Amino acid sequence: MGQCCSRATAPDSGRGGTNGYGYSNQAKPAQTPPSYNAPQPQAEVRYTPPAMNPPVVPPVVIPPKPTSDTILGKPYEDVRTVYSLGKELGRGQFGVTYFCTEIATGRQYACKSISKRKLTSKADREDIRREIQIMQHLSGQPNIVEFRGAYEDKSNVHVVMELCAGGELFDRIIAKGHYTERAAATICRAVVNVVNICHFMGVMHRDLKPENFLLATKEENAMLKATDFGLSVFIEEGKMYRDIVGSAYYVAPEVLRRSYGKEIDVWSAGVILYILLSGVPPFWAETEKGIFDAILHEEIDFESQPWPSISESAKDLVRKMLARDPKKRLTSGQVLQHPWLREGGDASDKPIDSAVLSRMKQFRAMNKLKKMALKVIASNLNEEEIKGLKQMFMNMDTDNSGTITYEELKAGLAKLGSKLSEAEVKQLMEAVCSNLED
């Protein structure tokens, strides 16, 4: 906020006798019915004078009933009675993700706290409800973040999930400093496994991108986990979906044509594979409209570096995952069986050109920069100025380090004609630096 094939049984939540949504699991004690067959002795009737001080009967505490404004459809529950919330881990459109600790066990998790004030429409509320349902439905599967529980109070909905402490996928690849086709195949296999599980269990993800995958731990062979299901839906058989969702670089052409099904997830996974092998997305432009036009009409580039040195088997898989006709596109199951991708397949252990890592680093940095620039100064700069800011950072970052100095930023913004105050420039600098160096 921030974020795993048969159905696994959901693990016990371990939250003091409540299920995943906080309802009590305790059974009512059995009552022994009276016997009506044996003769009953006649009771002796006696007069008992009223007591001077009648016993005080404690009031019955009735839990608050769900009201029309609750999202989870259950009484309010304070997440802080079960978990201690710690430092902020991330911030999104609707809320904040915190590090949290289960009070009873000391186990560490992540808690995404979603502000109800920002859920301004019925659709927003339904989206949050559906995301929680899907996370609970998929929990326990490989490569999917573990769901722990959902709580609601007057101001927020809190979603507690597995803490993925290993960081983002691209960060790990870049930090390692060397890279092979076999490593790319291992990563792609985990991504496609998420697609396969989702489709098998009746879910369409709709927003696959590298930022939505985190590593479970900092260990070398940590499992990759899908963490964000905010745009996911339960698949309705025979229904064609029409709303445009997802992130520009990863959107399938049929999404732009407003008639699509679950095949879009394989396309998005194919875009991720293209980036893993080349460091850049297959369809590139300076504007969202330009990206969409390229997705609909341009041919995939297999001529530029490093593609001449990439194996034919890898290129074959990319082509089949990025087939514009969804009927000709491979299914997730077929992708997992492809000779290049399957375990023990023919993916080469030969190092990929180091320029791929440099491009991947720049692509990641520019994405984070654009996101932070939009968050911090969207109300002050127009689209052309944002484009200029992005180009300015690219020009200044001559060593591809992903950083520039405060004075360089201030001078560059002045050249753009920006009216940002000194405080706003500092805010932008802090935001960008913290995100590029995390």
Other CB atoms within 10 Å distance of the CB of residue 304? 9
Q: Tell me the β-bridge partners of 109.
A: 100, 162
Residue whose tokens read 């490593």: 183
| 112 annotated binding-site participant | yes
CA-CA distance, 310 to 146, in Å (whole number)?
36
Q: Cβ distance 109 to 100 under 8 Å?
A: yes
CA contacts within 13 A on the Cβ side of 335: 33
Q: How far apart are CA 416 and CA 411, in angstroms?
A: 9
CB atoms within 10 A of CB 167: 15
Q: What angle do CA 168, 2, 279 make, to 5 degrees?
A: 30
Grouping H, G, I as helix, E, B as strand and the rest as coil, residue 2 is coil
Tell me the backbone φ, ψ of residue 238, rounded to 5 degrees.
85, -10
DSSP-derived pairing of the beta strands 156-162 and 213-215: unpaired
Question: Could you tell me if 19 and 72 are in contact, meaning their C-beta atoms sit under 8 angstroms apart?
Answer: no
Phi-psi region of 77 (alpha: psi -120 to 50; beta: other; left: phi over 0): beta
Mapped onto helix, strand or coil, the DSSP state of residue 376 is helix
Q: Give yes or no: 207 in active site.
A: yes
Q: Check 12, 69, 127, 207 and give the catalytic one.
A: 207
Annotated binding-site ranges for ATP: 112
Q: Which residues are annotated as a binding site?
A: 112
Active-site positions? 207
